[in-house]
Amino acid sequence: MQDKNLKKISIGWDIGGAHIKYCVTSEHSKLIWYDIHAFDFWKDYKSLKSLIMNINSLYKKKNFEIINYFTMSAEMCDCFDNRNVGTKFIIQEIIDSKCKSYVFSRNGFVKPKSITKPLLGTIASNNWYATALYLSEKYSDIIAIDFGSTTCDFMIIKNGNIQNKRTSDLSGLQNRELLYSGCARTPVYSLIHKIKYMNQIYIVIPEQFSSMADINIILDKLNPDDIYSKTADGTVNNKINAYKRISRSFGFDYSNNKIKLIKYLANQIYNSQVQLIKSYIAHHMNKHFSNKKNIKILALGLGHKIISNISRKEKYFYLDHNKVLESKIYGGSALTNIFSSYVMCKLKK
C-alpha cells in the first residue's frame, strides 16, 4: 500500500562500470526502495538514458515529485578515450533523460547543464568521497571500509575531517586508500600464484576461470543469493558450480573426493586477501591514529561481514552499519551494498 505522505521522493544513483545502483527515499517516510542492475557499461552505455527514464517513470505514474542525484565511476570504462569523455557522456545522458537531476561533485551538487570542464575532475569517481562526506558529519574518528564486488575503499575520518589524499584512482592506489581487490569479481590469480598442499604444488592458472565470489561461497563467507555479479562461466552462483570453477583455475576437474583439497586452496586464497586488507587497515591506523585509541571500523559493501570478522579478530572497535542507516529497509537487509547511492539522497543539498 502506498504511504499517502509519499509526495516527494529522491532517487540516488551510483553509475558504476559493472553495476548501476539506485535508492529511493522520501522526506516524509522512512520506507526505502533500492536495486542493483547488472550493467556492462562498456557494452551497454548507450542504454543509460533509457534506464534513468524507466526508473523515473515508475514513480511518475504515482504522481510523485522526483529529484535524481547522481554519482559515478563508470567514466573509466574503456569504451571512452579518457575519463573526461566518459564523465561528459554520462552527464549528457542525464540531461537527455529530461529528468530533474543534480550531479555530485566535491563542491556540492550541480545541475547537469551547469557543469563545465574544470568541474569534471571533481565529479569522476568521487562516489567514495560522497560516502566519506556523509560519515564525517556523523563521526569524529573512524575508518570506513567499503568492501565491494570489485574494490575496497578506505575512508579515513579524523576529528570529523576527511584525511584521504585521493583525488583519482591513481592517487588512491598510491596512498593505499583504494585497493583493487573485491569480494566477488576479483579473479583469484590476482591474489596468489601457487599453493603447497600435501607435498604438491598447485599453480593458479592466470585465466578468468573463477573469482573471489567462488572462494567466499565455498567458505560460507557470502550467501550466493546476495552476490549480484556475473560468474566466470555464466552459470549460477552455488557451491557446486563454485567448486567447479576453482578446480578449473588449478587445472583439474571437480569431483567429490577433491572437496577437501578445494576448500584448502580456497582458504589460502581467502587468507591472502584478508592479510592484504589487514595490512591496509594497519597502515592507516599507524599513519592517522597512532596517538588515539578506540578508533572505530565501519564496514560497508557486499563484503561487510568479512571486514566485521577481521575487525573482531584484530580487536578493533567495530561500528555496526545498521547504526549508521537512517531508514527502515524495505525489501531486504542489503542497503549497505548501495551505500553511495543512499547517501546521494541523504547529503545536505
- Which grid cell is 217? 561461497
First to last CA, the chain: 30
What is the third-level CATH fold of 8-128+325-346?
A: Nucleotidyltransferase; domain 5 (3.30.420)
Model pLDDT, residue 339: 92
Q: Report the C-alpha gap between 279 and 208 in whole angstroms.
A: 26
pTM exceeds 0.75: yes
List Cβ neighbours of 175 (8 Å cut-off, separation of 6 or more): 164, 165, 166
Angle between helices 259-288 and 304-313 (to 10 degrees): 70
Q: Report the C-alpha gap between 256 and 258 in whole angstroms.
A: 5
> Which amino acid is present at 304?
H
**CA–CA distances in Å: residue 207 to residues 16, 119, 193, 243, 334:** 24, 39, 12, 16, 31
Q: Report the C-alpha gap between 349 and 340 in whole angstroms.
A: 15
Q: Report the C-alpha gap between 89 and 52 in whole angstroms.
A: 14
Q: Specify the DSSP element, H or E, that contains 24.
A: strand 19-26
Q: Specify the DSSP element, H or E, that contains 55.
A: helix 48-60
Domains 8-128+325-346 and 139-321 share a fold: yes
Model pLDDT, residue 324: 79
Model pLDDT, residue 332: 42
**Following DSSP, what letter does each residue of 162-227 receive, concatenated?**
E----SSHHHHHHTTSEE---SSSSBGGGT-SEEEETTEEEEPPSSTT-BHHHHHHHTTSS-GGG-
**Following DSSP, what letter does each residue of 219-285 receive, concatenated?**
TTSS-GGG--SPPSSSS--SHHHHHHHHHHHTTS---GGGHHHHHHHHHHHHHHHHHHHHHHHHHHH
The tens place of each residue's pLDDT in the chain, 349 residues long, gives: 345 556 889 999 999 999 999 999 987 766 678 899 999 999 999 999 999 999 999 988 888 899 999 999 999 999 999 999 999 999 999 999 999 999 999 999 999 999 999 999 999 999 999 999 999 999 999 999 999 999 999 999 999 999 999 999 999 999 999 999 999 999 999 999 999 999 999 999 999 999 999 999 999 999 999 999 999 999 999 999 999 999 999 999 999 999 999 999 999 999 999 999 999 999 999 999 999 888 999 999 999 999 999 999 999 999 987 777 766 555 445 678 899 999 999 998 7
Domain boundaries, the chain: 8-128+325-346, 139-321
**CA–CA distances in Å: residue 258 to residues 73, 188, 193, 348:** 40, 18, 20, 54
Model pLDDT, residue 4: 58
Could you say which of 1.20.970.10, 3.10.310.40, 3.30.428.10, 3.30.420.190 is the CATH number of the domain covering 139-321? 3.30.420.190
Torsion of CA 56, 58, 59, 61, to 10 degrees: 120
Q: Report the C-alpha gap between 216 and 314 in whole angstroms.
A: 20
- Counting DSSP H helices and E strands in the chain, the numbers are 11, 14
Model pLDDT, residue 3: 54
